[in-house]
Chain A
Amino acid sequence: MKGLLRNFWPYLAIIGPGIITSTVDNDASGIATYSVAGAQFGFSLIWTLIPITLLLIVIQEMVARMAVVTGKGLADLIREEFGVKLTLIILVGLFIANLSTTVAEFAGMAAAGELLGISRYIVVPLCALIIWLFIVRSNYKTVEKIFLVLILFYGLYVISGFLAKPDWGEVGRQAIMPSIKFTSSYWFVLVAVVGTSVTPWMQFYLQSSIVEKGLKIEHFKITRWDIIIGSVITSIVALFIIVSAASAVNTEGAVSVENVAKALEPVAGRFASTVFAFGFFMAAFLGAWIVPLSTAYFITEGIGFESGINKSIHEAPQFYILLGTTLFIAAGIILIPGVPLIPIILISQVINALLLPIVLLLVLILINNKRIMKNHSNTKLMNIISVTVLFALVAMGVILVITSFGAG
């Protein structure tokens, strides 16, 4: 992870880890899930964005606090405090979750590519290859720019949201006084929206990027704002995607990002539709690049394998094997003819939703350890809030599993 962020960092330092993490967070599965939420349930899921924002702030604040106090990544702390067995379980969980996330990213690229008129059999292998070359040739400069372009694209989502001319009064009403539906599909999508907004991978990523930036407890006030702003941005982008989708499509049936983008055309014009599709593609591409790479870093560093893109395949075989497997298995699955894309994205969220409470539990144990956290461990209030959050997440995980198996 260090190698990754070192090359990456100077360019992005201005933006701040919290805001960047939130950008990465709105990846292909995020956009897909928000689209589905808007298309199927109109504005009636918008209210969830308020608790989600709070959830993001609570969890990320703890993770960031650990980063500034200990100067260590989450994987490092888990390894040092809980030993090899638990580390292995978490890392295997993270690998599976991130493999499925990567599959979802490629699914996103395939869908977006087809929307823009390019076959998935061209888009997916080409992108996998480009990403592999980026990583091996360690040419980050380009990717940094892609990152910044992507942030601009989120601005375009906001535009496409406005172009769709939604009834803003209704949006506001639904945010405060939601018309909650008590159907299983409503709750399934609700849990999926939460699951895609708060992922285990993000917590690892955020903590490492703060550590790598060398932030100290003196900076924490600023970091806290960075996280709050980042979390709000995540939710605002989500809001506009839901709004665009809701204005374009309104159906109780199965929908996909393609449907949404296509339906946007008559409502908001061809430009909005193309923006939607292209933003989706970029988000997926970046996700497919950064998720496997940082996963390979977390795992190799946690176990103690050689890692880093400045090492050759001979020097750091496990690192490249992890990277290669994630990338090419993910791309391969998408190339299987007739493979359904949206269920794949949803499965990846089930896995993430199951891992998240475990990671959060470990975070809670770590952050209450006075030896590690000195006098910056959790206050009672923070513990009450986060334990409540933990129970809510466990409950959601259970709902998600039950409904997805029920649906499947």
Chain B
Amino acid sequence: MIIYFSKLRGMLIVDSEGNNIGPLDDVIVQDGEKLAEVTFLVVRLNGMRQKLSASYIASYNGIIRLSVPAKELELNPLADKEILLREMILDRQLIDINGLKVVRVNDILMADVQGKLSVVSVDAGVHGFIRRLGFSIPIGKGTNLIPWEYVEPVSIDKELRLKVPRQKIASLHPADIADLLEELSPKQRANVFGTLDVETAADTLAESEPEITKSVLAEIKEKKIASVLERMAPDEAADVLNMLQTAKANEIMKLLNPEFNQKVKDLLQYGEQTAGRMMNPDIIAVYLDNTAQDAIEYLRKRSPVADRSYYVYVMDRENKIVGVLSLRELIISSPEKKVADFMKHNVIKVLHNAPRDEAAKLIVKYNLSVLPVVDENDKLLGIIAADDVMSGVMPESYRKMRPKRKYYLRKRKNKNGKNHKNSA
């Protein structure tokens, strides 16, 4: 049997002998991964809210009939940290994980699941709204039922939610989480961001627009920011620090590990709009007389840090850049061959103080995936990846445009076999 919360709420509760107890005021649920089980019914007795176990429910057809007489009922006052449907879910906003948007809960659909009354989905559609106004409407086109499994309440405070560690949002692509954050208010943003693990948080920040990053960081403790920044590329971390007030940025930099801190500091020396400022200093470079074998071993050792290393650069003894090798070339060559013998000699590179645009133009013109950045003596300083310049050259309106299809999403299966309107 299914029932809408709007119909259930206000229903009269009577005991097994037919005595009135009072109308249902709210229900308490226990959140789970797929469903939220109703654990208590809340009634208002003498102006006080009291809860009684949902296990007393015998039926809820027009009236809620309990299985025991009133005198045997155990009534308790409400405890802290309980999720109340009317107070915390109904009429509030939550995130529709699949539709990637913020919706408002117009109604809540409940059903008997294995003998227990549970929340199965929320109604975010117009029909739910109309039903709440007192008109009855059959399930149809205006119904937008989102399974409980795919929603994430945004205004429930953190401690309450930690009872059930939800990985719903964290399972999304960071670029999508960044989009979602934009739809939220600053307070909700901090709430949602706080639930992300550091790794996801770092990727999300890297994908966010500057204003959003700023508003999120304003609500978060320095220590947490530092641990998130360490998971980002040094140039991205430098960008983020640059957005903050100097005092706060300095505070955070003190908390970074010294090696990472140094990299960020070095980057911040470069002018705002220069190639040097946007480069990643984690590079892989070998010397002319190293063999292919040496290079591959070095690459293995360094790869956890230098995760963009699709090319290995070759330096002479004065650390001047003299050649480049692709990973492919490195792998197919025989292990004992010296890199000097099969490297490419003309390396397209950019001077650290060249404007960003210059780097972007070089990348586009020569179809590069990575562009090395050098100083006046041709010493290799870092690399700029093609995707780093993309956001700079693309107009904002283009970046903000959403892809029509959400290729990466799991398709939600609705009961009536239809896919969610926005996922198709």
- Chain B residues 209 to 226 lying within 8 A of chain A, measured CB to CB, are 211, 215, 218-219
Q: Are A306 and B101 in contact (CB under 8 A)?
A: yes
Contacting pair B422 A84 (CB below 8 A) = no
Query: Within 8 Å of chain B (Cβ to Cβ): is A83?
Result: yes
* Interface contact A83-B211, CB-CB below 8 Å: no
Q: For the complex, is B132 an interface residue (Cβ under 8 Å from A)?
A: yes
Instruction: State whether A315 and B422 are in contact (beta carbons under 8 Å apart), knowing that A84-B91, A138-B397, A214-B187 are contacts in the complex.
Output: yes
For residue B104, CB closer than 8 A to chain A, the reply is: yes
> When the two chains form their complex, are residues A214 and B215 in contact, meaning their CB atoms are under 8 A apart?
yes
B129 pairs with A84, CB closer than 8 A: yes
CA gap between A72 and B104 in the complex, in Å: 14
Q: Whose C-beta in chain A lies nearest to the C-beta of B86?
A: A83
Whether the pair B133, A2 counts as a contact (CB closer than 8 A) is no
**Considering the chains assembled together, what is the distance between the CA atoms of A355 and B178 in angstroms?**
38
Contact A9 B211 (CB under 8 A): yes
Across-interface contacts of A84 in B (CB, < 8 A): 91, 106, 129, 132-133
Task: Encode contact with B along A275-311: 1 for CB under 8 Å, 0 otherwise.
Answer: 0000000000000000000000000011111101010
**Complex CA–CA separation, A9 to B210 (angstroms):** 12
B92 CB within 8 Å of chain A: yes
B residues 371-424 near A (Cβ < 8 Å) are: 397, 400, 402, 422
Contact B219 A214 (CB under 8 A): yes
A79 at the interface (CB under 8 A from B): yes
Which residues of chain B are near A211, meaning CB under 8 Å?
185-187
> Is A88 within 8 A of B187, CB to CB?
no
Distance between Cα atoms of A303 and B127 in the complex (Å):
11
A71 and B133: CB pair below 8 A?
Answer: no
User: Could you tell me the distance between the alpha carbons of A138 and B126 in the complex, rounded to whole angstroms?
Assistant: 26
**A253 CB, nearest partner CB in chain B, Å:** 48
Tell me the B98-132 residues at the A interface (CB within 8 Å).
Answer: 101, 103-106, 124-126, 128-129, 132
Q: Are B104 and A79 in contact (CB under 8 A)?
A: yes
Give the shortest distance, in Å, between A365 (CB) and chain B (any CB): 16
Complex contact B104–A301 (CB within 8 A):
yes
B307 at the interface (CB under 8 A from A): no
Whether a CB of chain B sits under 8 angstroms from the CB of A212 is yes
Contact at B104–A303, with CB atoms within 8 Å?
A: yes
B residues 127-141 touching A (CB-CB < 8 Å): 128-129, 132-133
CA distance A306 to B124 in the complex (A): 10
Chain B residues near A306 (CB-CB < 8 A): 101
- Count residues of A near B (Cβ-Cβ below 8 Å): 29
Which residues of chain A have C-beta atoms less than 8 A from B106's C-beta? 84, 303-304
B358 at interface, CB cutoff 8 A: no
Q: Which of B124, B128, B185, B218 contacts A72 (CB 8 A)?
A: B185
Residues A71 and B188 in contact, CB atoms below 8 Å apart:
yes
- Does A304 contact B186, Cβ atoms closer than 8 Å? no
Assess whether A79 is in contact with B91, with CB atoms less than 8 Å apart.
yes
Q: How far is the CB of A133 from chain B (nearest CB, A)?
A: 14
User: Which of A76, A85, A213, A304 has the most CB atoms of chain B within a 10 A radius of its CB?
Assistant: A304
Q: Known interface pairs A212-B186, A214-B219. Does A310 touch B104 (Cβ–Cβ under 8 Å)?
A: no
Given contacts A83-B132, A306-B101, contact A71 B91 (CB under 8 A): no
Q: Is the CB of A10 within 8 A of B101?
A: no
Q: Residue of A at shortest CB range from B215?
A: A214
B197 within 8 A of A: no
By a CB distance below 8 angstroms, the chain B residues around A3 are 183
**A309-353 at interface with B (beta carbon < 8 Å):** 310, 315
Q: How far is the CA of A3 from the CA of B106 in the complex (A)?
A: 22
User: Is residue B239 within 8 Å, beta carbon to beta carbon, of the partner chain?
Assistant: no
How distant is A225 from chain B, measured CB to nearest CB, in Å? 20
Which listed residue, A6, A80, A302, A304, touches B182 by the CB 8 Å rule? A6
The chain B residue with its CB closest to the CB of A318 is B126
Closest CB of chain A to B72's CB: distance in Å? Answer: 32
Q: Taking the nearest CB of chain A, how far is it from the CB of B183, in angstroms?
A: 7
Bound-complex Cα distance A84 to B92 (A): 11
User: Closest CB of chain A to B192's CB: distance in Å?
Assistant: 13
> Is there contact, CB below 8 Å, between A304 and B124?
yes
CB-CB < 8 A to A76: which residues of B?
A: 93
Are the CB atoms of A80 and B126 closer together than 8 Å? no
CB 8 Å contact bits of A72-116 with B (1 = contact, 0 = none): 110010011001110010000000000000000000000000000
Residues of B within 8 A of A85 (CB): 132-133
Which residue of chain B lies nearest to A315 when distances are taken between CB atoms in the complex? B422
Q: Which of B91, B184, B188, B397 has the most CB of A within 10 A?
A: B91
B186 near A214: Cβ-Cβ < 8 Å: yes
Contact status of A80 and B92, CB under 8 A, knowing A304-B104, A305-B126, A310-B400:
yes
Question: In the bound complex, do residue B219 and residue A304 qualify as a contact, i.e. CB atoms below 8 Å apart?
Answer: no
Task: Tell me whether A2 and B132 are in contact (CB under 8 A).
Answer: no
30 A-B residue contacts at CB 8 Å? A2-B182, A2-B184, A2-B185, A6-B182, A10-B211, A71-B186, A76-B93, A79-B104, A80-B91, A80-B92, A83-B91, A83-B132, A84-B106, A84-B132, A84-B133, A85-B132, A85-B133, A211-B185, A211-B187, A301-B104, A302-B104, A303-B126, A304-B103, A304-B106, A304-B124, A304-B125, A304-B129, A308-B183, A310-B400, A315-B422
B positions within 8 Å CB-CB of A: 91-93, 101, 103-106, 124-126, 128-129, 132-133, 155, 182-188, 211, 215, 218-219, 397, 400, 402, 422
Instruction: Give 5 new A-B contacts, CB below 8 A, not counting A79-B104, A303-B106, A304-B125.
Output: A72-B155, A83-B132, A85-B132, A214-B215, A304-B129
